[in-house]
Amino acid sequence: MDLTEHKEGSVLSLPTPLARLYGTAMTLGIEVRDLPDDGLPGDDDTAAVVICGASIALNPALESDDLRADVLAMALEIAAIMTNCDTGDPGEVYAPGGFVIISRHRVPAPETGPGALATAVARKCGRDTASAAFGFCVPEFEFYTPEPADGGQDLG
């Protein structure tokens, strides 16, 4: 399916920009859902969480469908460019733990890099927006192997 044509059956034939962006996610095989009711404890700034490039969890408290559409456009771009390998490519988002958190803080649309494609996609889907780019961060996780409870001795 061509995502860029306004023909019958394409995502661009859906009635609203938000519906078009949801349709784009579905076409790409990316699951979109709301953050759980408890969300991220103590964090009112989270707009969305992108998980391993395969799932997007949107904050259900986003104030409008327009804001939700812009955040979803940003999350779709992050899903497309996130990687668990540090390639040094400035066009990729290195997320070794598989999570990227998108904030509610809208930033000016960049000419290149994260946020540029999000703004273009949002506009193509019918949003009249100066920017669909938002601040984001990659949470740091510490991975370790727990010590065996028995001090590492063979029990067998």
Each residue's pLDDT tens digit in the chain (156 positions)?
A: 444 455 566 677 788 999 999 999 999 999 999 988 665 555 678 999 999 999 999 999 999 999 999 999 999 999 999 998 898 888 899 998 899 999 999 999 999 889 999 999 999 999 999 999 999 999 887 666 677 666 655 555
User: HEC profile for the chain?
Assistant: CCCCCCCCCCHHHCCCHHHHHHHHHHHHCCEEEECCCCCCCCCCCEEEEEECCCEEEECCCCCCHHHHHHHHHHHHHHHHHEECCCCCCCCCEECCCCEEEEEEEEECCCCCCCCHHHHHHHHHCCCCCCCCEEEEECCCCCCCCCCCCCCCCCCC
- pLDDT at position 11: 73
Instruction: Give this prediction's pTM.
Output: 0.82
CA distance 131 to 117: 10
- pLDDT at position 141: 73
Asked if 107 contacts 131 with a C-beta cutoff of 8 angstroms, the reply is yes
